[in-house]
Structure 1
């Protein structure tokens, strides 16, 4: 393949030096083998879904890239594990902390991404210190996923947390539990996380004026229960974030939105949606 500036022959082309940042953003949603890849004029959206009950979206804004050329709406499915492995080809010997997305590295990897047209593979060219490698990843048909419409009129409750506080909460809960319950109320306890399992029940309460809560809006008392095994990928992603927005709609569906800052003041978002147990049971 010609490595010169031949992006004009492709419907999508992007280049960046933020390879480690991107690979770790994608690791935060790496709980299934495959993912939907959707490129727009605003950036790239990667969607992973489990049994139509848990959905994760990683948003890679075009500002992350040095060059971003987009000619039409692009949608396909891709093997996420292979995609991440390719991005990490030059980082096998690097010790990287999941809590340090803004960590600096002396040797930067440069990435170019090409996509020619429907049915063609996604081409990655990676270069570090003059050493170049290319990867060709097979693309598949885009897979339909659940549509979660969290419109403002449907949002019953919303809380914005400092991530460090939620990390501490979930370090204390029973990881072997079957069910995790979230309670949000205008009266005390304003926010409660409870777990239920073979070891019994455990709950942790936070008042709305807690130092770890930056914003609290509660229209009505609401509590929803979730299958803990489904929520685990969303809880793991807390380690990558600086702030977390938790929202619940009228049906008790849960939305976690994670804000992730880059060292150059670029902000990315990861979003998880999870159905409550009653709706989950209807699907299985």
Structure 2
């Protein structure tokens, strides 16, 4: 019988791992799934908000499973402790927050003289020897080696990651919008200044406001960020269709009853949990289904990964993805949150094509 560990991975830097995991660390407890495509981490809060990211195998110089056909049961770890371990040699906010104007991590001559930036030449090794064993993190840099054995916690035998995720019905989407992540980050930051309790997402391709985010219930009153329209999307019997200038893709397919407008309410404090992902990403994809479940999928540039590779998401390499899902508020003012118009159309897009188009 082989004594080889179930899983071993080696990364030449812990910076990319730290940056991605930090974006979903709003809850200390994270579920880890080891798959042939990479390490998936998922956090949630009262099943009202859920975040996940895949540390794609392309982020590692070596990624080995002792049995490619074996299924490794998921387990739970303390993601805060993991982040502390990954930054043991000084990764800090200053090192992980430098990004290009369009988003994504990039190098900076100013950051090159910071101690964290100088420490990117080390290695990070992750080992999982057997089910129930600790997750072993070994970080080595300039001849200094630090090893941390993190306790893992078994999940119920009947635990199913797919069944425990907040469901998004991709066959019944009423909204799909792709836009620069900094535009969303700026809008949420502006609305947060009024201490709003509720975020209202409103969109229509035929009636103004075409795309708006509204903050309601704050002590300083309500506020709205209205994304200005650009031009008509096409000229075939859709002259009224208008696309907001900030968006790259704008598709609204409201169900019958509200004159072509999609409108839904969410708890603002939950939306703010995605703030770090908004600041780090280059693009974001909004998707909302008929039940009001909202998916914000963030694309994060990874210049260290070859663009010729193919990620586990089916898109080009050089990118990682962070997915947030939110459950809508129910009750007052929701009677007309969804609507349909005979002119509205929807073309189904697979999750892998949400951003990497």
Structure 1-normalised TM-score?
0.90
| Residues 1:189 and 2:209 aligned together | yes
| Residues 1:48 and 2:43 aligned together | yes
Select between 16-25 and 164-173 the one with higher mean Cα deviation.
164-173
Deviations 1:40-87 (A, max 9, x none): 011111000100110000111111110111233331100001111111
Bigger CA radius of gyration: 2
Going from structure 1 to structure 2, the CA distance change for 1:114 and 1:242 (only over 3 Å counts) comes to same
- The 5-angstrom pairing of residues 192-211 of structure 1 reads 192-197=212-217, 198-206=219-227, 207=229, 209-211=243-245
Aligned to 1:282: none
| Residues 1:179 and 2:161 aligned together | no
Q: Matched residues in 1 for 2:293 and 2:322: separation? A: 17
Q: Matched residues in 2 for 1:33 and 1:48: separation? A: 8
Q: Matched residues in 1 for 2:192 and 2:130: separation? A: 48
Going from structure 1 to structure 2, the CA distance change for 1:64 and 1:93 (only over 3 Å counts) comes to closer
**4+ runs of 1 displaced by more than 6 Å?**
none
Of 223, 233, 236, the match for 2:263 = 223
Going from structure 1 to structure 2, the CA distance change for 1:142 and 1:217 (only over 3 Å counts) comes to same
| Residues 1:148 and 2:188 aligned together | no
Deviations 1:105-132 (A, max 9, x none): 3432201111011110000111001111
SS at structure 1 position matched to 2:222: strand
Of 261, 269, 277, the match for 2:321 = 269
Q: Any gaps of 5 or more consecutive residues in structure 2? A: 100-104, 109-116, 230-241, 255-260, 306-317, 332-357
Aligned to 1:128: 141
1:234 Cα offset (Å): 1.4
Deviations 1:172-225 (A, max 9, x none): 213411111001212221211001122221111123533321101111121111
Going from structure 1 to structure 2, the CA distance change for 1:241 and 1:8 (only over 3 Å counts) comes to farther
Q: Matched residues in 1 for 2:176 and 2:18: separation? A: 29
Structure 2-normalised TM-score?
0.72
SS at structure 2 position matched to 1:270: strand
Aligned to 2:183: 165
Select between 31-40 and 144-153 the one with higher mean Cα deviation.
144-153
Aligned to 2:15: 20
Q: Matched residues in 2 for 1:46 and 1:97: separation? A: 19
1:237 Cα offset (Å): 1.8
1:95 Cα offset (Å): 3.4
**Contact 2:133/2:151, CA 8 A, preserved across alignment:** yes
**Contact 1:103/1:263, CA 8 A, preserved across alignment:** no
Of 286, 290, 295, the match for 1:255 = 295
Select between 104-113 and 118-127 the one with higher mean Cα deviation.
104-113
Q: Matched residues in 2 for 1:184 and 1:27: separation? A: 30
1:8 Cα offset (Å): 6.3
**Contact 2:167/2:293, CA 8 A, preserved across alignment:** no
- The 5-angstrom pairing of residues 87-106 of structure 1 reads 87-91=86-90, 95-100=94-99, 101-103=105-107, 105-106=117-118
Structure with the largest fraction of strand? 1
Deviations 1:215-252 (A, max 9, x none): 01111121111111111111332001000001100111
Select between 206-215 and 24-33 the one with higher mean Cα deviation.
206-215
